[in-house]
Amino acid sequence: MAKSVLADRDTAALVCGRFTSSQRREAIGERFEVAVPETYSERFNLAPQQQALIVRDQDGDREAVMAKWGLLPRWAKDPKIAFKMINARAETLPEKPAYRSLISKYRCLIPADGFYEWIVDEDGKKTPIYFQLAERTLFAFAGLWTSRTDEQTGEIVESCTIITTTPNELVATVHDRMPVVLPVDLESVWLDSAVSKEHALGLLKPYPASLMVAAPASRDVNSAGSDFPGLLVPDNALAA
């Protein structure tokens, strides 16, 4: 019988350590009412430190840019800190120096169509479980973003983090945290810098379990180098 990945300390530290953004550029642009950069590509296994699409508000207009997944604060001296900042806990955002200064004006949407969490089988192998909306449609994680200038190259580095919260009943069978999935009608509210940070923090709730589905995926997801549509199919289905 499989057990929750909570029993595995190394992996348990990662909440939403991989996700998918597998829809076409045009579909994402239409869904989020934004021009998506041509550098965007469909992803079936997006991993930390890779480039993710974010949607943010810039002077009242929506803007989509690619950003490194793993927040890199302007004050951080060691870029490796970003590996520890792929997720930000909703409950402690106002307390953490890296996040509290971003809550008011640096909120973003991170378009996705699913995310992975893991269970550990009796043989010790980790099996990814793929979570989607029941309608298999695009959605947005609540995120924060920042930017800084690389001292060596002069390049502007955009980075982001996904906010997590307590799990709904479906995700709780696998992990004790889940990424914040925003209802469609609250996406604009989250982006609006005129909305107070207190109001914005109140939006960070678990998405209803009744509106989500979950199924095993291929163990090839475990390799960050794997990125193809077949990852969404469990290994035993491919062998059948």
Of 110, 166, 99, the C-alpha closest to 141 is 110
Annotated catalytic residue within 16, 158, 160, 187: 16
Contact (CB, 8 A) for 66 and 55:
no
Burial zone of 162 (CB within 10 Å; 0-12 exposed, 13-18 middle, 19+ buried): buried
C-alpha span between 174 and 172 (Å, rounded): 5
Q: Does the active-site annotation cover 117? A: yes
Provide the token pair at 69: 């997944």
Measured at the CA of 221, the angle between CA 78 and CA 212, to 5 degrees, comes to 100
Query: Which is it for strands 18-21 and 114-120: parallel, antiparallel or unpaired?
Result: antiparallel
Active-site option among 63, 91, 117, 187: 117
Query: Strands 43-46, 107-112: parallel, antiparallel or unpaired by DSSP?
Result: unpaired
**Residues 6 or more apart whose Cβ sits within 8 Å of residue 90:** 163, 164, 165, 180, 201, 204
Catalytic residue numbers?
16, 117
